Amino acid sequence: MLIDVHAHFYHERTPRADWRERNTSRLRAGDKIGITIHVASVLGTWGRTSPIYFPSPTDVTAGNDALLALARVHPDRVRGYACVNPNHTDHAREEIARCVAGGMVGIKLAASRRADDPLLDPICAIARERRLPVLHHVWQHRRRDWPGQEASDAVELCRLAGRHPDVHLILAHIGGGGDWEHSLRAVRGTANVFVDLSGSGADGGMLEACLEAVGPGRLLWGCDLTMDTGLAKLRYLERLLRPDELELVTWRNAARIFPPGAFPAD
């Protein structure tokens, strides 16, 4: 079994005219790679009517609706994170409840608010109640602010994790840009933070450093926007790890932190 914990899909209310092709391409590449389940999120309208990382409540709902619909079409292959904007607490609460009722298995926080902001506490409280992992968009060592997002880094995510030790937090895309060595130093001692291996970065030494920092028990395989680097990391890990360790990274860790029954063999 192979679970991609960091996938995205598009829909008709996004700026991309090629949204169907991209969705089809992800599923087709997933078949080639051997992905059993794509755990995906949709960030609102991907910038069409509100910013990607600051989606309006209306767009959050539209994106989640699109993902729920896709999961109904592909119940054997697609699971969802409920994407919410923590600046709208009541809407976020309602949206998580609605999406979980529809079958979603996690919460996605983009970069609408810093990870250590108190507004994330009510989200984490719901995550704890419902045993949902929280995938948090992270900039690997943010040295300055970037336009269009209020990106967090691992230090901030670990502060949140410290306030919510019973919630499983996923540090997004360690290969997604920035100084991954900084992130690995930060998360080393925080047991409830898992590292998602996705991202276009496939640096020599990165996977060894991930293993050295948190061990195979806190790594999660994923792709994000580049499935070729996902496949490359999978192949590299096959040579780096024992079969039982590899299973942790490819699905057992995910099966442990997502709700019971989220995945076929679970």
Cα angle vertex 238, ends 233, 241, to 5°?
Answer: 110
- Contact pick of 178, 194, 210, 248 for another protein (by CB under 8 A): 178
Strand partners, 84: 109
* Binding flag, residue 6, another protein (CB under 8 A): no
Near another protein by CB under 8 A: residue from 14, 45, 61, 140: 140
- Minimum CB–partner distance for residue 184 and another protein (Å): 12
Closest contact distance (angstroms) between CB of 87 and another protein is 25
Query: Which range in 99-107, 111-119, 210-218, 229-237 contacts another protein by CB under 8 A?
Result: 229-237
Name the DSSP letter for residue 218. G
* SS3 state at 37: strand
Q: What φ, ψ does residue 77 adopt, rounded to 5°?
A: -130, -20
Residue 60 sits in the site that holds another protein (CB under 8 A): no
- 29 contacts another protein (rule: CB under 8 A): yes
Which residues from 184-213 bind another protein, rule CB under 8 A? 200-205, 207-208
The answer to whether the CB of 7 falls within 8 A of the CB of 256 is no
According to the binding rule CB under 8 A, does residue 226 interact with another protein? Answer: yes
**CB contact set of 38 (below 8 Å; sequence gap of 6+):** 4, 7, 26, 27, 30, 77, 78, 79
The answer to whether 177 contacts another protein (rule: CB under 8 A) is: yes
Output the CA–CA distances (angstroms, integers) from residue 253 to 66, 76, 197, in the order listed: 27, 20, 13
The residues binding another protein (CB under 8 A) are: 21-23, 25-26, 28-29, 32-33, 139-140, 143, 177-181, 200-205, 207-208, 225-229, 231-233, 235-236, 239
